[in-house]
């Protein structure tokens, strides 16, 4: 007999987030678990079916394979050989409620140190070319006096009497039991009777670390560099967290960046825009010569291939886009003004031949007002 669609079994859709899958499974598990339905084979069948569906869909790799290939994509790799019915009620609900009641079976691994984030301000040049820099990061490090144990030198933590060193206690909740973190040792399984004087039994002390960070060429705003094991030290000797260095780009006086491309604006004179010419424009590699064609209009954009940023991942080279801005002369003397007025008169006599855009605009404006009056 063909298996039912796993999403149909749980009553969810293919786009349902993990939280909705867990919620749906919890509802079905509570309803059909054999401990609540002794002797009911139909309920046991539905419970096994729900558990099988959740075991696949709660695993990102298995869910991806199932979404692409259906049951054929997970039948050989789903690892369900023992059958879902073998699990006890406490075990299954420990899995579901672990994030609420403190985990299931065995010692928790949540003592791992916290991850840290550090914002690093970089100039555009350093981000494009790559650099090395030192940073100072305040963090919690393992106490040297007690080697992170939290116990006074010469002593050691003892087993917790409440949980017997397991870190978990089992509580009866009506017809089923729930495991939760031991309130006495908070999941450690041990208690400290003679705490270390330097860390007060915490096993960690506050310290500022100096780290050397290598910035690869091409990083961009918001990129993160992970320094494994450079986060906070874990409690009771647990592994440290990681440090994430997040890149922030400083404002540049000439260039703006968009991905792998750079943009800049260059002011040019009316004469250069009209008669054409050559101008020097800046790039991150030095100066480059740009030829301005005859009768170039303001806001025209020129593209310089390969003068942008080399992508940090695929090494593709971006471009530089230069927009020209025609600058209006200011602070003119009388002779300059007279010459400019004479120039304006001469071009006006030439009509559309010299001022095609102005004449076209005048025609459209005239037509607009004629239609408006009529």
What is the predicted pLDDT for the residue at 90? 40
Q: What percentage of residues in the chain have a pLDDT greater than 90? A: 42
The pLDDT of residue 86 is above 50 = no
What is the predicted pLDDT for the residue at 326? 92
pLDDT, tens digit (0-9, with 9 covering 90-100), for 6-19: 999 999 988 888 88
Min mean pLDDT across 90-99, 184-193, 211-220, 234-243 is at: 90-99
CB 122 within 8 A of CB 210: no
pLDDT, tens digit (0-9, with 9 covering 90-100), for 268-319: 999 999 999 999 999 998 999 999 999 999 899 999 999 999 998 888 999 9
Per-residue pLDDT averaged across 75-81, rounded? 44
Q: Which of the four CATH numbers 1.10.1740.10, 2.10.230.10, 3.40.50.1390, 3.40.50.300 does domain 116-249 have?
A: 2.10.230.10
- What's the mean pLDDT when you consider all of the chain? 82
The pLDDT of residue 146 is above 50 = yes
**Domain ranges within the chain, ordered by starting residue:** 6-78, 116-249, 256-326, 334-373
What is the predicted pLDDT for the residue at 224? 92
Look up the CATH architecture of domain 6-78.
Orthogonal Bundle (1.10)
pLDDT, tens digit (0-9, with 9 covering 90-100), for 328-373: 999 999 999 999 999 888 888 776 667 666 666 566 666 666 665 5
pLDDT, tens digit (0-9, with 9 covering 90-100), for 171-209: 766 566 677 888 888 777 888 889 999 998 888 999 999
Please give the residue that has the higher pLDDT: either 316 or 103: 316
Residue 374: band (very low, low, confident or very high) from pLDDT cuts 50, 70, 90: low
Tokens of 320: 């530089």
What is the predicted pLDDT for the residue at 116? 93
Please give the residue that has the higher pLDDT: either 302 or 106: 302
Residue 95: band (very low, low, confident or very high) from pLDDT cuts 50, 70, 90: very low
CATH number of 256-326: 2.60.260.20
Per-residue pLDDT averaged across 114-137, rounded? 94
The pLDDT of residue 72 is above 50 = yes
Residue 132: band (very low, low, confident or very high) from pLDDT cuts 50, 70, 90: very high
What is the predicted pLDDT for the residue at 14? 86
Residue 243: band (very low, low, confident or very high) from pLDDT cuts 50, 70, 90: very high
């Amino acid at each position: 007999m063909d298996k039912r669609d796993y999403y149909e079994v749980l009553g969810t859709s293919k786009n349902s987030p993990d939280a909705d899958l867990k919620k749906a499974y919890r509802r079905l598990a509570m309803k059909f678990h054999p401990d609540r339905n002794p002797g009911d084979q139909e309920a046991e069948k539905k419970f096994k079916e729900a558990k099988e569906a959740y075991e696949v869909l709660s695993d990102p790799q298995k869910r991806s394979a199932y979404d692409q290939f259906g049951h054929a994509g997970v039948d050989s790799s789903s690892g369900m050989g023992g059958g879902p019915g073998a699990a006890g009620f406490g075990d299954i609900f420990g899995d579901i409620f672990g994030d609420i009641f403190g985990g299931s079976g065995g010692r928790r691994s949540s003592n791992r140190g916290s991850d840290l984030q550090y914002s690093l301000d970089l100039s555009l040049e350093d981000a494009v070319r790559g650099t090395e820099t030192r940073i100072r990061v305040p963090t919690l490090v393992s106490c040297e006096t007690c080697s992170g144990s939290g116990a006074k030198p010469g002593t050691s933590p003892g087993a917790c009497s409440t949980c017997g060193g397991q870190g978990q206690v089992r509580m009866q909740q009506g017809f089923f039991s729930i495991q939760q973190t031991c309130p006495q040792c908070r999941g450690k399984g041990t208690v400290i009777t003679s705490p270390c004087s330097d860390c007060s039994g915490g096993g960690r002390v506050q310290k500022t670390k100096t780290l050397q960070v290598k910035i690869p060429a091409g990083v961009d705003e918001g990129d993160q560099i992970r320094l494994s094991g450079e986060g906070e030290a874990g409690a009771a000797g647990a592994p440290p967290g990681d440090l994430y260095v997040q890149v922030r780009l400083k404002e540049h006086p000439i260039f703006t960046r968009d991905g792998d491309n750079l943009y800049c604006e260059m002011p040019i004179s009316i004469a250069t825009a009209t008669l054409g010419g050559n101008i020097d424009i800046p790039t991150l590699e030095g100066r480059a010569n740009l030829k301005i064609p005859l009768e170039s209009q303001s806001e025209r954009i020129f593209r310089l291939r390969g003068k942008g940023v080399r992508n940090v991942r695929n090494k593709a080279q971006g471009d530089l886009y230069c927009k020209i801005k025609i600058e209006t002369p200011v602070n003119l003397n009388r002779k300059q003004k007279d010459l400019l007025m004479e120039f304006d008169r001469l071009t006006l006599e030439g009509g559309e031949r010299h001022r095609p855009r102005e004449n076209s605009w005048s025609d459209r404006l005239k037509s607009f007002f004629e239609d408006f009056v009529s």
